[in-house]
Structure 1
Amino acid sequence: MWKQFSLRGSFKWYDVLSELLTAYNSRKHRTIGMEPKDVTAANVELVMKKFAYEVVAAMQQQQKPKFKVNDKVRVNKAKNLFEKGYTANWSTEIFTISRVRRTKPVTYELRDLCDEPIVGCFDEQELSNTAHSDVYLVERVLKRRGEEVFVK
């Protein structure tokens, strides 16, 4: 359509409607596997079967969950427009996945380490798998003894 509008220098679609329809019906469509002008009463059932098969296959294609129940994860922190880039993107608190919900997209229910449920569900993009069980925020180092460090 845009090509036709550009060539004519006008957005009057009713002048080129017949040309656009002819071009549209003369191109092979991915969903039916043929040109729409080639669909007849004799092959309409074949076209419908092919189209229905693709729809059902797309619906049955389940997304495999990235996380499992009892996985330890961190939650993404939402930053506002003027938030500093060097601040942490993920929570320091660690959560446990309590339930995987087979929705589209897959969502997860969480519990904190005190086994209290967290309100709401989280998408995969909002969670990050963590290998570290604890993170300790260090305000300052008070004393050193070899490789040992006493911190506040």
Structure 2
Amino acid sequence: MALTEEQRGYLESIWTNVKHTAAFSGPYKLYQIVKKEGKHKIGLKGIREFLSDLESYSLQKRVQRKFPRRHILTDSIDTIWDGDLQDVRNISKDNEGVQYIWVLQDIFSRYLFTAPLKQKTATNIIEALKAIFASGRKPEVLRTDKGKEFKNHRVVSFLKDEDVHQIFTENETKSNFAERSIQNLENRLHRMFTHNQSYEFLSKLQSVTDNINNTPSRPLGGITPASVTKKNVEEVRYSAYLQRNKKKSAVSKKLRNTKKERKRPFKFKLNDKVRISHLRRLFQREYDQKWTGEIFKVSGRYRSQGLPVYKLKDFAGEPILGTFYAQELQKVRTDDNSIWKIDKILQERKRKGTVEVLVSWHQWPAKFNSWIKKSDVKEV
């Protein structure tokens, strides 16, 4: 049942009153306080809907980070490499001015490549790739995030000439294989720093990389990344991937026998309006805005590897690149009575006796700037 105007007024009066214990609280705490006061009978669902209509809540709503995601499937060595940069600017003075480590990992074999960079320019990226490719290994596909250094036209052209297909990740996990490798590399380097009482790594980087490549890998069933070659690909694929998946399937079958298997339902309908969770940077503070101010529409939905995923479009009908999990979206409700915040009044004109203003909308791209009646602009 929809909330009445009286109920909405009551919830707004206590939620925005900084002297009230319910001020700016989450749905469950607000529900508990409303229930305790007993002035109105409002369920948790109604409170969630009320809060989702408030921009001040929906932009700050906690984002779920851990949830089942689709797997990247590759069936051979050097099919797909993941790449990312490790930032070491804070210790560059101890390492001849090196500011980044270019980390690449073959997804199938988990084999790691590293290259020190003094800057993340196109020239540095290309020279590092040339050195790595000269070792005799090269991927069919290179996967990175959308950093400017990777999208530079010279890097794109170089990879094209090398017959390497380049793809960019569109979601917040970005280059997750390379990022995990960076974490592993970072852990080893920091232990070395502590042992040596020095932040110098440049002369030892290749040795540390070799050590990682010669360490048994759990995802490979105990095989070392360095021992995976084109000659034993089928053996590795069977022992590390197919056998492991058989065990998982056996466990899943037992679970299906005890509990009816259900497909994950779709959370959103076509044309639902949603916000997208921001791609957070490491160490971003929790009170920073977590969701886009711009609102999008669900344009498509389907299941991939059994997981519901969604396609989006903006309010101009232009498709948004990539697919999104339900956990990366938040439903919002808007109608003709919704209030939209204005960033700036850019121009003013008079047409057929009516004064109009060109406005830019708060947290919306410039392409949505539009003319509205000046009389519709209100101070809030």
If the length of structure 1 is used for normalisation, what is the TM-score?
A: 0.50
For 1:46, the equivalent position in structure 2 comes to none
Distance 1:54 1:116 in 2: 45
Distance 1:79 1:137 in 2: 25
Q: Does 1:128 align with 2:330?
A: yes
Distance 1:76 1:87, change over 3 A: same
The Cα of 1:88 is off from its aligned counterpart by 1.1
* Residue of structure 2 aligned with 1:112, choices 296, 314, 318: 314
Greater share of helix: 2
After superposition, give the CA deviation of every residue in 1:54-94 in whole Å (9 maximum; x if it has no partner): 39x64xx2111000101000000022123233221110010
Q: Give the aligned residue type for 2:329.
A: L
* Residue of structure 1 aligned with 2:276, choices 75, 86, 91: 75
Q: Does 1:94 align with 2:299?
A: no
State which structure, 1 or 2, has the greater radius of gyration over its C-alpha atoms.
Answer: 1
Distance 1:79 1:137, change over 3 A: farther
* Residue of structure 2 aligned with 1:54, choices 234, 239, 257: 257
SS at match of 1:68: coil
Q: Does 1:150 align with 2:379?
A: yes
After superposition, give the CA deviation of every residue in 1:107-145 in whole Å (9 maximum; x if it has no partner): 000000000001110001100001246652668xxxxxx
Distance 1:82 1:122 in 2: 23
Q: Give the aligned residue type for 2:309.
A: T
Distance 1:149 1:86 in 2: 28
The Cα of 1:149 is off from its aligned counterpart by 4.8
Q: Which runs of 5+ in 1 are unaligned?
A: 1-30, 33-49, 140-147
- How many pairs are equivalent? 94
Distance 1:132 1:87 in 2: 24
Distance 1:74 1:150 in 2: 25
Q: Give the aligned residue type for 1:112.
A: D
Distance 1:117 1:88, change over 3 A: same
Distance 1:120 1:106 in 2: 14
Q: Identity, % of aligned pairs?
A: 33
SS at match of 1:110: strand
Q: Give the aligned residue type for 1:136.
A: K
Distance 1:111 1:62, change over 3 A: same
Q: Give the aligned residue type for 1:101.
A: Y
Distance 2:283 2:331 in 1: 27
